[in-house]
Amino acid sequence: MPLMAMTPFVIALTATFFAAVIAGWLRGGHPERLAAAVLLLTRPVIVNPLVSWRIGDVYLDSTIEDVLWTLFFGWLAFRSDRWWPFAATAAMALVVLVHILTMVTDISWAAAVSARVGLGMLAYLAVLAGVAERWMAGEAPVSRIERDGPPWRRRVGVAP
């Protein structure tokens, strides 16, 4: 989709997506980094802007992507000790509900897209909030631990 055809809300959603992926990878812990990797790797694979599977007002490729992200965030919520995967799971579950309501009711296309944009932004903001929580708690990001080594390991220097 060309930039001129995108609404300000879709541009904000895209900017929030990239901010969540970049911050999650560079400044997050293991759950945030895993979420950033899954978000980044599944986005271009599942949703291809050149090919769209559409039946009526339902985009099947986007529906499949949202269902998989809901399952992933739900799995992450029960496997990690963070609060933000629960918020992301709830937002993505509501996105899936919007897809279902689009299939079974007479909800307008604009209303469905508006709800999906807002709830998708909420899921990305949950990832960003998880990164911010780690930063405010003073926990080291995974990237620093990988670079410097674990904090409990004694560093051995060269003797003079």
Q: Is residue 77 part of a domain?
A: yes
Q: Is residue 2 part of a domain?
A: no
Q: How distant is the alpha carbon of residue 32 from its chain centre?
A: 9
Q: Is residue 34 part of a domain?
A: yes
DSSP the chain: --GGGS-HHHHHHHHHHHHHHHHHHHH--HHHHHHHHHHHHHHHHH-BTTB--EETTEEHHHHHHHHHHHHHHHHHHHHSS-SHHHHHHHHHHHHHHHHHHHHHS---HHHHHHHHHHHHHHHHHHHHHHHHHHHHHTPPPHHHHHHH--TTSPP-PPP-
Q: Is residue 107 part of a domain?
A: yes
Could you give the number of structural domains in the chain? Answer: 1
pTM, 2 dp: 0.80
Q: What is the pLDDT of residues 96-137, one digit of tens each?
A: 999 999 888 888 888 888 899 999 999 999 999 999 988 888
Domain residues for 97? 14-148
Q: Is residue 3 part of a domain?
A: no
Q: What is the pLDDT of residues 20-58, one digit of tens each?
A: 999 999 988 889 999 999 998 887 655 555 667 777 777
58-72 b/e (C-beta count within 10 Å ≥ 16 → b): ebeebbebbeebbeb
